[in-house]
Amino acid sequence: MTWTWLIGAVLFLVLAPVIGGLVAGIDRKITARMQGRVGPPLLQPFYDVGKLFEKESVVVTTAQNFYVLAYLIFIALSGALFFAGGDLLLIIFAFTLAHVFLVLGAYAVHSPYSHIGAERELIQLMAYEPMIILAAVGLYMVTNSFYVADIAVSTIPAILYLPGVFLGFVTILTIKLRKSPFDISTSHHAHQEIVKGITTEFSGSTLAQVEIAHWYENVFLLGFVFLFFSWNPVIGVIAVVVTYLAEIFVDNVTARVRWQAALKSGWFAAVLGIVNLAVLAYILGYMMTGGV
């Protein structure tokens, strides 16, 4: 028991970049097919990151490298805690802190593009933060534990109790995966958003670190989706795949919205979550008192 948590964390730290990169490659391939194109090779994301490490390092302020490294480390840490079966609340706080570091990195440079990206990243943070905490609370109400290790082995089908919370979570997942219609702070592949938003002033190995952190982040988030279905691992894996395919589909059929709409959507998702939790609290209370 003392060792199993460590195995999960180490496996995540080693395998997540590989899985995350492959998922990004599959994503780009499917996106290309949806647009009637052939698309890049499957390993394209690895070529891109490899290329970025080969480039000259252009640094505006050395502080930005420190902040981006902190972003990478805290994303990896929150993911490692998750796969070690740690406390969901601690994981979410480490996850938020990571993004604060990214925002600070973008603010460290005196570039208007970078600052607009940083402001929009903060808006995104405000948009998704309520919902991600509600998701943790919902899983706690169903399984009576904030520990991922307990939630993952729970035999209760959490999704049946938390359909609203899951829908809300999937909505903010679009924000987190940096996909349309909510890719306002920075965006994927060839899409442009005010030059490239928060990553404008990052180049070479610094940009590569942002990319690797994003791979870690995606694997962690897909793991979070799995928790809703963890009573049956087969259904869980299928649900994760279907969710991601749906995200790619939404990315391709929607246009980018303004930041106000992104914020409203994030909070609407949170309202959906709260209603779900209120109903759940009522039902659970009813069951405990035996209907008296």
Residues that bind another protein (CB under 8 A): 28, 32, 35-41, 44, 47-48, 50-51, 53-58, 189-190, 192, 195-196, 199-204, 207
> Shortest Cβ distance from residue 256 to another protein (Å)?
14
| Angle in degrees, CA 62, 66, 67, rounded to 5 | 115
Q: Given the complex with another protein, which of 32 and 133 has the nearer CB atom?
A: 32
Closest distance between another protein and the C-beta of residue 150, in Å?
A: 43
Q: Which residues pair with 87 in a beta bridge?
A: 147
Judged by CB, which is closer to another protein: 51, or 110?
51
Nearest-approach distance from CB 32 to another protein, in angstroms = 6
Return all residues near 58 (Cβ < 8 A) that are at least 6 apart.
203, 204
> Least distance from C-beta 253 to another protein, angstroms?
16
**Minimal distance, residue 22 CB to another protein, in Å:** 16
Tokens representing residue 228 in the block? 């809703």
Amino acid identity, position 116: I
Angle, helices 88-107 vs 204-227, to 10°: value is 160
Considering beta carbons, is residue 40 or 157 the nearer one to another protein?
A: 40
Is the Cβ of residue 78 or residue 199 nearer to another protein in the bound state?
199
Give whichever of 195 and 257 is closer to another protein, judged by the CB atom: 195
